A and B are shown apart, each in its own frame.
Chain A
Amino acid sequence: MFEIRIHGRGGQGVVTTAELLSVAAFTEGRQAQAFPTFGSERTGAPVVGFCRIDDRPIRTHEPVAEPDAVIIQDATLLHQVDVFAGLDADGYLLINTSCSPAELGLDSYVQQFRPDRVMTIPATELALTHLGRPLPGAVLRGAFAALTGQVRLDSVPAVIRDRFSGRVADGNIAAVRDAYDRASRQLEEDVRAETG
């Protein structure tokens, strides 16, 4: 079972990101489950979404306490919420930011992770380019596919096409592909840097 926890703020599409990741995995014939933390939703308030992916039926309904991957949609949460709770050194970390981990004050924290499992991506800027709206979900799903391989690149746009149409679908799909390409290049550079 691969477990994902997504941190963001109300209005940023955290719940949708979790749901569409689960649908992407489902279209690949896998079992998946997505659900939000449930509150009196307010724009800007911290929100958490969960997604589980497995090849066996998923029976549990508890929140994800020990995620295999954490996606942070809003880096301003880094020092407000314990976004890293339960994430161990084998985990994946994907942060929406135009800053480096050092600039975020995370340099020593991310040292424990494998370099090819930590990624920052300016998802809000890329979303503004492709969608004209600051919704980082599509970018992060594309980068997540490249980073973890838990969903395939072609599943993510297919789900978008199924849900949206016209310019909204086109913009989101362009954002996914751009993010996937950037993330793949970044991972290749990491590997090159590591192997010298």
Chain B
Amino acid sequence: MLKQVEGSRGVAEAVARCRPEVICAYPISPQTHIVEALSVLVAAGELRPCEFVNVESEFAAMSVAIGASATGARSYTATASQGLLYMAEALYNASGLGLPIVMTVANRAIGAPINIWNDHGDSMSQRDSGWIQLYAESNQEAVDLQVQAFRIAEELSVPVMVCMDGFVLTHAVEGIDVPAQDAVDAFLPPYVPRQLLDPDDPVSIGAMVGPDAFTEVRYLAHAQQLRALEVIPGVAANFAAAFGRDSGGLVRPYRCADAEIVVVALGSVLGTLKDTVDELRDEGMSVGVLGVTSFRPFPMEAVRTALAGARRVVVLERALAVGIGGIVAADVRTALSGLPVPLATVIAGLGGRAVTKKSLRTLVADAAADRLEPLTFLDLNLDVVEREQRRTG
């Protein structure tokens, strides 16, 4: 039913309709409203059978999710920022053990300096953790991706992060269609674990693997995640057939096919970018947008195909790899290898700085006029930077 609700509320209801049997979480802004709403649903008996486990940290939250998932329970948690870092060790265990846990990341910057606002620094830091990472463009897509994530995770036995921009989406009130229970039940079959911890049929999981087989284990994990490149579009197609809505998939091109300039981005900035592109197109500029929904696995072929006709590519990143610059840009450059397409990286929206249509228009104009440096920081206040550099010598 279409409702005007906060993004967090919509996500909580969508997660509940997926019938998780164990939810454990430790509150951290801006994830809090999601798990608060879920705890209320569990306490009210609206989500049964489900155990909501209060834990003392994010490390415990992921550890409980691992234990629950290994015993065959559909398991869910959510976090953000330092919370995600605090679970880092357990994240690798979840993926290494092939446990299909689903987690919402309410994207937030990482300190220091402490900052509660949105960027992608948290989930990007776990790029290589073996989790599938899907980025939502809107609250509707965040809701739809929760439902798709459980199917993808369980089909592959690989954990999935659904990343949604903290505050920008989690705290925005918009019209959201939360899929009905019977429709979700029809779309998402009960979880059948690939392996199970069961006292009646004991097995060991996570045993030590030595040099003789560790490479093979890692190879298999890589091959399994690459299988997601087939599974993710399939699940999105099934979702579209069941719910009549186009969400998820690997990439989302917008007015891209004939565009001379294509801006590549992830997350909620895509909406503002599409508005910008429509304006610029009306003014005669040939520009398009490529939204990357699946960052891990990275859809090399889909990205290469979408960008092959472009004269210039701009990768807009909401995170910074200190010492090199872009994170997504490195992958896009790999996807474009051999093609004569120049690429510029733009770091934007760090720590909650708004990415405005006004700045995006300037950015595209600079790209069109060949004025864009290989690495640019959008709306950087040079006065502040230079003053500080003078002060510190």
Interface, chain A (partner B; CB < 8 A): 18-19, 22-23, 26-27, 31-36, 38, 40, 58-63, 65
Is B138 among interface residues, defined by CB-CB distance under 8 A?
yes
Question: Contact at A60–B272, with CB atoms within 8 Å?
Answer: yes
Given contacts A38-B116, A65-B358, is CB(A60)–CB(B275) below 8 Å? yes
Question: Contact at B175–A26, with CB atoms within 8 Å?
Answer: yes
> Which residue of chain B lies nearest to A32 when distances are taken between CB atoms in the complex?
B4
> How many B residues touch A, CB cutoff 8 Å?
28
CB-defined contacts of B271 to chain A, threshold 8 Å: 58-61
CA distance A166 to B79 in the complex (A): 37
Interface, chain B (partner A; CB < 8 A): 4, 6, 30, 116-117, 138, 165, 167-169, 171-175, 268-272, 274-275, 352, 354-358
Question: Contact at B167–A38, with CB atoms within 8 Å?
Answer: yes
State which of A38, A40, A60 has its C-beta within 8 Å of the C-beta of B357: A60
CA distance A18 to B173 in the complex (A): 9
Given contacts A23-B173, A38-B167, A38-B352, is CB(A59)–CB(B116) below 8 Å? no
Question: Contact at B116–A33, with CB atoms within 8 Å?
Answer: no
Of the A-B pairs whose beta carbons lie under 8 Å apart in the complex, a sample of 15, sorted by A's number, is A19-B6, A22-B173, A23-B173, A27-B4, A31-B175, A32-B173, A33-B174, A35-B173, A38-B117, A38-B167, A59-B138, A61-B172, A61-B268, A62-B272, A62-B354
User: Secondary structure at chain A's binding surface: helix, strand, loop or mixed?
Assistant: mixed
CB-defined contacts of A59 to chain B, threshold 8 Å: 138, 270-272, 274-275
CB-defined contacts of B165 to chain A, threshold 8 Å: 61
CA distance A93 to B387 in the complex (A): 39
Question: Contact at B116–A62, with CB atoms within 8 Å?
Answer: no
CA distance A40 to B172 in the complex (A): 16
Q: Quote the shortest CB–CB distance from B316 to chain A (angstroms).
A: 14
Q: A59-B274, A62-B357 are in contact. List 19 more A-B contacts (CB 8 A).
A: A19-B6, A19-B173, A22-B173, A22-B174, A23-B4, A27-B4, A31-B175, A32-B4, A32-B173, A32-B174, A33-B173, A35-B172, A38-B117, A40-B116, A59-B272, A60-B271, A61-B268, A62-B354, A62-B356
Question: Contact at B358–A34, with CB atoms within 8 Å?
Answer: no
CA distance A51 to B271 in the complex (A): 16
Question: Contact at A32–B175, with CB atoms within 8 Å?
Answer: yes
Question: Contact at A65–B356, with CB atoms within 8 Å?
Answer: yes
State which of A26, A40, A62, A65 has its C-beta within 8 Å of the C-beta of B4: A26
